[in-house]
Structure 1
Amino acid sequence: VNYLIQRGHHRIACVTGPEDLAICQYRRQGYLQALQRHNLTLNPYFITRGDFTFKSGIAAAKHLLTLTPPPDAIFCHNDRMALGVMYRAKQLGIVIPRQLSVIGFD
C-alpha cells in the first residue's frame, strides 16, 4: 500500500480475505495504517471481502469499479484475487496499469 501511495495513488481499495484468518486481519490493519500514515481518508466502500479465489476477485472488482469515483489502485490479499480484479478490469476496458494499479500480496 505504501508503494501504491508513493506511485501517486490516493483512492486505494482493499480486497480482503476471510475475516477469521489472522493473516487477513494483519493485512487489513497494514492497509489502514498506510492510509493513516499518509493522511488519506478511508472510504469504507473501498474495502470488500473475498475468499482468496479468482471468482471473488472478479466479484470485488464488479463492486469497486462501479463506484463514483472508482479506486485508482486495488490492494488484494492474495494473487488469485488480484488476477480476478485484473480480468474484470480488462472486460470493462480498463487499462492496467495506466488507469488502474493492482497489487496482490501473496
Structure 2
Amino acid sequence: VPSIVRSVGPEQVLTMRQQTQIYWDRYFSSVEKIILTTLEIIKERVELHNAKKMFAWNHPPGGLLIHPSFSYHRAAFPFFALHEGAPPSEKFTAVILARTPIISISAPS
C-alpha cells in the first residue's frame, strides 16, 4: 500500500483533494447536509426506480439538487453540457418559485 500511495503524482493528488472538497461542501459540511444526504440515499434504495445516476451525485450541483424524474440523460441538464463537450445552448428555461408572505392579523400595516 505505501508504494501505491507514493506512486500517485502531485497533479492527481491535487485533483483528488479538490474532488474531496467538493464532496465535503456538498454532502458532509454540516449536520443538516449529512442528514439530508443519508435520507436521500435511503430513499433511493427503497425506491430504486427513482434512484439518481452516479453522475448526478459526482458532479455539480449534486444529487441533492437534481430530481430524477426530470431526465435520465446527462445532456438534458444544462450544467453537464460543457462536461459532455457540447456548447451551451442559447435557449433555456428558468423556474422561479415565488411565494406571498403570510400576513398576520396582528402585524402592523
TM-score of the alignment, normalized to the shorter chain, above 0.5 = no
- TM-score norm. by structure 2 comes to 0.31
More strand by share: 1
Bigger Cα Rg: 2
Please, what TM-score do these two structures have when normalized by structure 1? 0.32
- From the two aligned structures, give the one with the greater helix fraction: 2
